[in-house]
Homo-oligomer: A and B are copies of this chain.
Amino acid sequence: MEFKFSEKVSHLQASAIREILKYSADPEVISFAAGSPAPEALPAKELEELSKEILAEEPSIAFQYGVTEGYTPLREEVKKILAAQGVFNAEYDDVIITSGAQQANELSAKVLCNEGDTMLVEAPSFIGSLNAFKSYHVDLQGVTLEDDGINIAELEEKLKKGGVKLVYLIPNFQNPTGRTMSWEKRKQAFELCKKYGAVILEDNPYGDLRFAGEDIKSIKTLDTEGSVIYSGTFSKILSPGIRVGYVCAHRDIIQKIVVCKQVADVHTTMWSQMLCYRFLKKYDLAEHLKKLRKVYEHKTGLMISEIEKNFSSKITFTRPQGGLFIWCTLPEGVTTEQMVDFCTTAVKDYKIAIVPGTAFEIHDGDPTRSFRLNFSTPTDENIVKGMAILGRLSKEKFGE
Contact = CB atoms under 8 A, between A and B. Distances in A.
A55 B106 CA distance: 30
Contact of A253 (B3, B51, B112, B117): B3
Best-buried of A117, A132, A241 by chain B (most CB within 10 Å): A241
A128 to B, nearest CB: 6
A264 B65 contact: no
Interface string A97-136: 0011011001000111111010000000000100110011
A48 B56 CA distance: 8
Q: Assembly of this chain: how many copies?
A: 2
A68 interface: yes
Contacts of A5: 111-112, 256
Contacts of A128: 262-263, 266
A170 interface: no
A162 to B, nearest CB: 13
Interface in A22-54: 34-36, 39, 42, 44, 47-48, 51-52
Nearest to A49: B55
A241 B18 contact: no
Nearest to A22: B67
A8 interface: yes
Nearest to A258: B14
Given A260-B135, A266-B100, A239 B111 contact: no
A270 interface: yes
A226 to B, nearest CB: 5
Contacts of A269: 99, 241-243, 269, 271-272
Contact of A227 (B1, B252, B271): B1
A9 B63 contact: no
Contacts of A42: 63-64
A233 B348 CA distance: 39
B240 A64 contact: yes
A100 B9 contact: no
A39 B68 contact: no
B48 A64 contact: no
Which of the listed residues A9, A56, A258 has the most CB atoms from chain B within 10 Å of its own CB?
A9
A340 interface: no
Contacts of A113: 6
B262 A8 contact: no
Given A39-B60, A60-B39, A265 B239 contact: no
A241 B263 contact: no
A65 B102 contact: no
A368 interface: no
A62 interface: yes
A65 B240 contact: yes
B102 A241 contact: no
Nearest to A35: B65
A265 B100 contact: yes
A8 B114 contact: yes
Given A64-B241, A243-B268, 16 more contacts: A6-B113, A6-B136, A13-B259, A14-B255, A14-B259, A14-B262, A44-B59, A47-B59, A65-B241, A102-B263, A102-B264, A102-B266, A106-B264, A242-B269, A243-B269, A269-B272
8 contacts: A4-B165, A6-B110, A6-B136, A18-B67, A63-B240, A102-B263, A110-B135, A128-B263
